[in-house]
Structure 1
């Protein structure tokens, strides 16, 4: 059974993904603090700590890097944690001989892309926030690591990963918990993927993102957000941009 290090295992996405990955691998879980809700081999540490990451990567067959600041923040914090942390993880994986790294990117790397037409998984970056910029840089670091050192790197542009869609805009971007498990398992088991970018979304009727790239890795989503649509009141959350109204306003940029 493959050995997999999951960073950010106690975070929101980590708590969704980790229980669903246990059949796919023997997991080592890393976060700043452990979660008592998730049993397993825990390592307490920061992804910005090079020595801790090199030690955590020893004996691993893959790393799933979920740790980071999950939303808009100051430029310095995002560069330190999201960008610097990703570089540290990639360097540590290479030093430990880990052949595959899966990086959590985000829809916000392309948040200003118009939402009216299907977005390929590798569409050019159009970040909507400093957070989105940090995810563009995460993808670029992954590309460099593959091109220079040959590491298999898959970047997952996660849409909206919750138990259910949080608003009407998210109906087109939802990644169900079950599909999240299926997607990361496919990323772990795909043969020689090289460098890839895939969308982290379910098979949503109102989907705005291509599923083709994920299907090539063996990801076949089964869930659809449409079952929640009738219970959602009309609101103003639906945006002309992929990132959503809350992330594509001038006010948000001025606040930072």
Structure 2
């Protein structure tokens, strides 16, 4: 697979990243299927809008018919109660992969997250094949997303690429982004590479701009997907203090990491189950 597939489904196209991916692929794909639970309007006859939820497997199978590839963006993109993450991220991804299998789709690009390894310290250079160290329940859900992708590749021969995206922003707006920024241009570049790279079975790659301070190794993206990012957050470094406490040490997930960030959602989940939440000793 070296050319952009002819018919591509984008799930979660109305979300924060969806419009960028849609615009980046619209000039080359013959047809885009724009799937979201929110209403989306097709611009012309090269697009089809489908209002559907990723929890609805039959609707996904119908929407995927005739598609060559799926870019799966839909889901919860931050810390949340575990029950919600299971429904949206884990069960939702299962439905996407199963619908792709039933519809005969060749390749699925999954949007995973750097939060899969967010508990590694900031001074550790993380390779994509190192063990996961999720920094919260959201990160755990993305570990499951990747595991589902691996299983569908190994068991059913589906071609799957899991992109561990960095901090998607127009420009960096906090100190951590000097390491984690993913520019819109590089986001599209990684997606295009994930859709077109030949010889894919199952690949996990960090999708982050070529930031001088990045934590994550980009070898897998270069060798297996053929993409090298072009932007660098260093161009914006003058906006941020050199002595920011973030750089003194701690987890790569920054303020989103740790008991204070996770416990509110653990407590919410426990209350739903009718069990008082308690912190570990």
Normalising by structure 2, report the TM-score: 0.87
The question of whether the paired residues in 1 share the 8 Å contact of 2:180 and 2:209 is answered with yes
Instruction: Write out per-residue CA displacement over residues 112-169 of structure 1, whole angstroms, 9 at most, x where no aligned residue.
Output: 0122132112221111111110000000000000010010100000110110113111
- Quickly say closer, same or farther: Cα 1:84–1:102, change in 2 above 3 A: same
Distance 2:191 2:43 in 1: 18
The alignment of Structure 1 onto Structure 2 pairs a total of residues equal to 255
Alignment of 1:206 onto 2:213: yes
Distance 1:220 1:252 in 2: 33
Match of 2:48 in 1: 41
Which runs of no fewer than 5 residues in structure 1 stay unpaired?
Answer: none
Alignment of 1:157 onto 2:158: no
Distance 2:131 2:28 in 1: 32
The question of whether the paired residues in 1 share the 8 Å contact of 2:40 and 2:51 is answered with no
Give the drift of 1:254: 1.7
- Pick from 25, 29, 34: which aligns with 2:34? 29
Instruction: Write out per-residue CA displacement over residues 70-103 of structure 1, whole angstroms, 9 at most, x where no aligned residue.
Output: 1111111100110000000000000000011010
Match of 2:100 in 1: 93
Match of 1:50 in 2: 57
Distance 2:69 2:62 in 1: 14
- Mapping of residues 58-207 of structure 1, within 5 Å: 58-207=65-214
Runs of 4+ more than 4 Å apart: 35-39, 233-239
Normalising by structure 1, report the TM-score: 0.95
- Quickly say closer, same or farther: Cα 1:191–1:76, change in 2 above 3 A: same
Match of 2:278 in 1: none
Give the drift of 1:41: 2.0
Give the drift of 1:51: 0.8
The question of whether the paired residues in 2 share the 8 Å contact of 1:24 and 1:185 is answered with no
- Pick from 228, 238, 242: which aligns with 1:230? 238
Match of 1:242 in 2: 252
Distance 1:191 1:93 in 2: 19
Which runs of no fewer than 5 residues in structure 2 stay unpaired?
Answer: 266-281
Distance 1:14 1:154 in 2: 17
Which has the larger Rg?
2
Give the drift of 1:23: 2.8
Distance 2:40 2:104 in 1: 28
The question of whether the paired residues in 2 share the 8 Å contact of 1:167 and 1:237 is answered with no
Distance 2:107 2:10 in 1: 12
Distance 2:55 2:173 in 1: 31
The question of whether the paired residues in 2 share the 8 Å contact of 1:199 and 1:214 is answered with yes
